[in-house]
Structure 1
């Protein structure tokens, strides 16, 4: 499925950003120079590229269809687990945003909260991506009927085209490359 191929590619980009996050956190921990203004850029990448764009396709199209069509997965709670992990990631981003605000307002102790939430998110997402790439996506390809696959392909294609027309993917790939150059 082309949709799955695109999502795996998006996962690779998200994992690249997770490496940036880890490197930035190391700089914060070791009291090296870092730019606090880069963290809101990372949060924007996560919220827009990883969550709204990527997770939106998963939640609203792929997982919804899988939940409707694959009773065994629905009963096992596998898809619900993916939704819960997405929500936990959103909570990490919310708490990271509050920590950046506290740091910007003069709380040096907020470094701990920046590191804790950023690394917590990075670890969660890395494991989450592995489960999706090696299990959930494989289930979709093997267990969904052709009609469901066609629906997923068409709906995802529409969303990809809308995002592309707005320059969304390129904007966030450019941001990713800029931050990689700075921190890796």
Structure 2
């Protein structure tokens, strides 16, 4: 496997999360009762998988390697801005979820920010997948791809965390509110 393919594999899982987040938002707008534990699990996956693991792989390894060739720097700059935008949305979801848990009626802002996050993920993943195609075809050598992939795999704790986050996504896909009207 290559670094680019590992990031694409991450995107497959993030795409699953995007569908869960979108469905959750729709169900809240319909007035469905989504357990707080499910909503909190979604925020944990966003924080620990999307941001801490996936975006870190891109920001700390992949993007710097691609940029070292003076290629695609403008695209990388835009992705870094988008990552921060996603973090801001995630903070808003957590902020309003906390208020809701404390008794304030924050259903609408939670639903709105979940919908916004799902839209962000869809757009962002589409653009990054095109970027990966370009970087793989025109910038990175096979050796660099393998070296970065080995870096990703070398931290066993991260690999275990990825497995745990995928299991959490699997679990969310089995929740009644998610399966409702699919």
Give the alignment's TM-score, normalised by structure 2: 0.89
Q: For 1:155 and 1:3, how far apart are their aligned partners in 2?
A: 5
Does residue 1:123 correspond to 2:98, yes or no?
no
Residues 87-107 of structure 1: CA distance to partner in whole angstroms, max 9, x if unpaired?
A: 000001111100001101111
Residue pair 1:163, 1:169 contacting (<8 A) in 2 also: no
TM superposition shift of 1:10: 1.1
Q: For 2:84 and 2:140, how far apart are their aligned partners in 1?
A: 28
Residue pair 2:3, 2:148 contacting (<8 A) in 1 also: no
Count of residues in correspondence between the two structures: 177
Structure 1 stretch 155-164 or stretch 90-99: which is displaced more? 155-164
- Coordinate RMSD, CA, aligned: 1.7
Bigger relative CO (Cα 8 Å, ≥ 6 apart): 2
TM superposition shift of 1:139: 1.8
5+ unaligned residues in a row in structure 2: which ranges? none
1:163–1:42 distance in 2 versus 1, CA, 3 Å = farther
Which of 82, 93, 97 is equivalent to 1:96? 93
